Each structure stands twice: as C-alpha cells, then as structure tokens.
Amino acid sequence: MNPEYDDILRSKMSESSYSKLTALENRKLYDFVGFFAKHCNPKSVYMCDDGAEDEAYVRTMSLKLGEEKPLAKDGQTIHYDGYGDQARDRTNTRYIVFKENLERMKSLNSVEYEQAHGEILDIAENIMEGKDAVVKLFCEGPAFSEFTRPCVQFTDSWYVAHSE
C-alpha cells in the first residue's frame, strides 16, 4: 500500500470506513481509493460493505440531500433526472478506445485512451471539494470466472450509490 495515501485516507475516513478498506488487504484498491481521495479532494470518504447498515445509511443520505424523494410505500424512493440528463448527447459523447482500435472506431466519436484519461483527470481534479465521497465495490460477470471483472465506484452522489 502506498504510504503517500495513509494520512489522506485517515483524515477523510471514519475509523469504521478505514477499517473496512484495510481489512480487504488489497493494495490496488487502497491505492485507487487513496489516489482519488487526494485527486478529487472530497471532504470525507465513506466505504460501503453493502451490509444492511450501509444500505440504510446511503439511502438516508440520498433522501436527506434531496437526491431522492420518498414514495408513499414505505422504503421506496424516486429520483428525477434533470431535463438535460435524458438519453445520450450524441455530439459530445465519446468512446474511449486503445490506439490500435482508433481508426476503425472513428465513426463513433472515439478518443484514444491516453488522451481521454488525461482529460478525465483534469476535469476530476478537486471536483469533489466540500462533498462526501462514497466507495462501493462490485463484481461484474459471474463470480470466480475468467469473465469476472471487479469494479470500484467512487462517487459524490448518494443517489448513484443507492441505485447501484
């Protein structure tokens, strides 16, 4: 684990969240969360373990911040996207591809990975300042398969964390 991130993570995470992260003993995950905690600069980082307590807390925060609204049926909520968030903006949506695939993907408004990665990091720098970040872990594909893809969500939207 990169010691560069120790102080940052300890300062932005509760003892419980930090313990959840370190209990996994996964250097890549620790460094990933540390990098984005430093780069995006949220005021805090909440690590989820998907237990009932976390699920309730994430839902409560989404309601408290107005990202979701309660429905009449107990336990159900609703989220409204803004008018401009509907569907895909075909003009500005770009597809990130590796250099060797760029030519055959050019009709899809594609951009080379290295260039896109740099643009994304430029946009993300300090983007969460003053906000809380939520970290969730996922498994795409069947568990313990060659098709399994571990995923990490690092978001400042409690609604996004709740909807996942």
Could you give all domains of the chain from N- to C-terminal order, each with its CATH number? 3-81+126-163 (3.40.449.10)
pLDDT of residue 153: 96
pLDDT of residue 8: 97
Nearby residues of 144 by Cβ (< 8 Å), 6 or more positions away = none
Nearby residues of 14 by Cβ (< 8 Å), 6 or more positions away = 44, 46
Mean pLDDT for each consecutive 10-residue tract of the chain (164 residues)? 90 97 96 98 96 94 94 90 72 87 86 94 97 95 90 95 89
pLDDT of residue 86: 65
pTM score, two decimals? 0.87
Strands 132-140 and 44-47: parallel
pLDDT of residue 1: 72
Q: List b or e across 24-33, with b for residues whose CB sees 16 or more CB atoms inside 10 angstroms.
A: eebeebbeeb
Which residue reads 């990130």 in tokens?
96
